[in-house]
Amino acid sequence: MGPDGRIVRRHVLVRKSSLVGLGKEGTKLAARLKLGKTAAADPSLFIDWKRRLLAMGRAEASRLGLSWDSVKRAKRTLRRTGTLRDGHGGRFLSRLKIALATG
């Protein structure tokens, strides 16, 4: 507000990298954008798991406690289909997101 109580319009320059979603709408937006939201971590923690998985090597997989064979299979599936399934026995995506969030 201005000194006389009127609302003043201000212009703000914001970088895309500094945007943070707040509340339920922010969470829904992030989920729609398919950012890797982890269930085990802080709700505002987002991980670009696809990029991290595709760049992962043996040493990082070992450091995170992930099987290299599982990582190779997930990378192959991700390149072929563009996503990983996380259900009906496919628990690798959940383990990957938790490992990336904690490690």
Residues 6+ away with beta carbon under 8 Å from 75: 53, 54, 56
Residue 98, domain extent: 36-102
- What is the per-residue pLDDT across 49-102, written as a single tens digit (0 to 9) for each? 899 999 999 999 999 999 999 999 999 999 999 888 876 667 888 888 888 888
Q: Tell me whether residue 31 is in a domain.
A: no
Enter the pTM of the model. Answer: 0.54
User: What whole-number distance in Å separates Cα of residue 103 and Cα of residue 65?
Assistant: 9
Q: Tell me whether residue 13 is in a domain.
A: no
- The first and second tokens of residue 2, run together, are 């201005």
Structure confidence at residue 42 (pLDDT): 47
Q: Tell me whether residue 91 is in a domain.
A: yes
User: 68-81 vs 92-102: helix axis angle to the nearest 10?
Assistant: 110
Q: Which residue has the higher pLDDT, 30 or 47?
A: 47
Q: Tell me whether residue 20 is in a domain.
A: no
Among 23, 20, 57, which Cα is nearest to 35's? 20
Q: Tell me whether residue 94 is in a domain.
A: yes
Q: Tell me whether residue 57 is in a domain.
A: yes
Q: Tell me whether residue 85 is in a domain.
A: yes
Domain total in the chain: 1
